[in-house]
Amino acid sequence: MGFQGQEIDTSMSTIIIILTILSALLFAAAGALLLVRRGAVGGERVLGVGLVCCVLLLAANAWAAQAPPLGNMRHVLCALPLLLAPVWVYLRCSGVQAGAGIAGVAAVALIGALCMPLQAGWRQAPALQSAWFVPHVTSYVAAYAMLTLSALYAAGAWGERQIPRLEAAHSLARLAFPFLTFGLCSGALWADAAWGRYWAWDIKEVWSLITWLIYLIYFHAPGSNAAKQRALLLLGFAAVLVTFLIVNMAPLATNSLHTYAR
């Protein structure tokens, strides 16, 4: 369970697990409440409490790691709900009720975090000690969170709600794209400083470029064919899943330069 066979502080591990479960339950409850009654004040309050729990979870992870807790899959999944909070606020200000979707994505992310090894003793490797570490990972996680929501809207864009949902999906993808670009560019600049090359054809790099290109094609696609828009958004989300999950977990990625992201 521990990283490199080291002992894990049991009490801290227990706190992290309890906070993860509590946050996941709160998000699930908020999602259910908001799904039953759109914009319900109670549901939004539960969502807010869940976000507060997530802040505590992030602090616990940071305390255990003694570094910004963004170094492995579990850390990133625990941080993902917090990056959805500004998106929630932005969408609320734009008149889009996305609380249920946001709560659902946050709950799924935290359930995923519970399935990952705890690695409470994770320590930053020398290559990760860079000023790029936090902005690079944060921008990617923020972009992936928004693209997940965008895909949810695109998948639900059928019948009467097709046009407004596709518009919401487009707005989210448009908001996410600069962050995706920042992740790609900052990764190149960081790789140049750490590995002596800005592009190494690493599997994670290649798939992140594929994801970026799919969204680039989406924004360049002429016309407003709803089916085409929906297909491209879902294809882009599939690429996000490959980049974020499958590439990290697949055995063929053992030689990847991003193995510490597991």
Task: Round to whole Å and give the CA distance between 190 and 131.
Answer: 9
Among 58, 142, 203, 240, binds another protein (CB under 8 A): 203
Radius of gyration of the chain (CA): 19
Would you tell me how many other CB atoms lie within 10 Å of the CB of residue 123? 13
Among 16, 121, 146, 244, binds another protein (CB under 8 A): 121
- Please count the other Cβ atoms lying within 10 Å of the Cβ belonging to residue 216: 15
| Residue 11 binding another protein, by CB under 8 A | no
Cα angle for residues 187, 246, 139 (degrees, 5° grid): 30
Q: Tell which residue, 94, 212, 207, 91, has the closest CA to residue 149.
A: 91
Is 47 an interacting residue with respect to another protein (CB under 8 A)?
Answer: no
CB 219, min distance to another protein, A: 4
In order of 2, 22, 62, 164, 238, the CA distances from 117 in angstroms are: 8, 18, 16, 40, 24
Nearer to another protein, 41 or 196 (CB): 196
Q: Scanning residues 153 to 192, which ones bind another protein (CB under 8 A)?
A: 170, 174-175, 177-178, 181-182, 185, 188-190, 192
Among the candidate windows 4-12, 38-46, 78-86, 106-114, which touches another protein by CB under 8 A?
4-12
Residue 157 burial (C-beta neighbours within 10 Å; 0-12, 13-18, 19+): buried
194, 226, 238, 241: which one binds another protein (CB under 8 A): 194
* Footprint on residues 59-88 left by another protein (CB under 8 A): none
Structure tokens at 7: 């002992």
**CB burial of residue 262 (10 Å; 0-12, 13-18, 19+):** middle
Answer yes or no whether residue 226 interacts with another protein by CB under 8 A.
Answer: no
Q: Which is nearer to another protein, 18 or 213 (CB)?
A: 213
In whole angstroms, the minimum distance from the beta carbon of 44 to another protein comes to: 26
Piece in contact with another protein (CB under 8 A), picked from 18-26, 35-43, 127-135, 152-160 = 127-135
4 near another protein, judged by CB under 8 A:
yes
Check binding of 6 to another protein (CB under 8 A): yes
**Stretch in the footprint of another protein (CB under 8 A) among 18-26, 43-51, 79-87, 120-128:** 120-128
Cα–Cα distance, 257 to 195 (Å, whole number): 10
Instruction: Look up residue 72 and give its two tokens.
Output: 């492995």
Residue closer to another protein, measured from CB, 115 or 252: 252
Burial 63-78 (b: 16+ CB within 10 A, else e): ebbebbbbbbbbbbbb
Which residues make up the interface to another protein (CB under 8 A)? 3-7, 121, 123-127, 129-130, 170, 174-175, 177-178, 181-182, 185, 188-190, 192-199, 201-203, 206-207, 209-210, 213-214, 216-217, 219-222, 252-253, 255-256
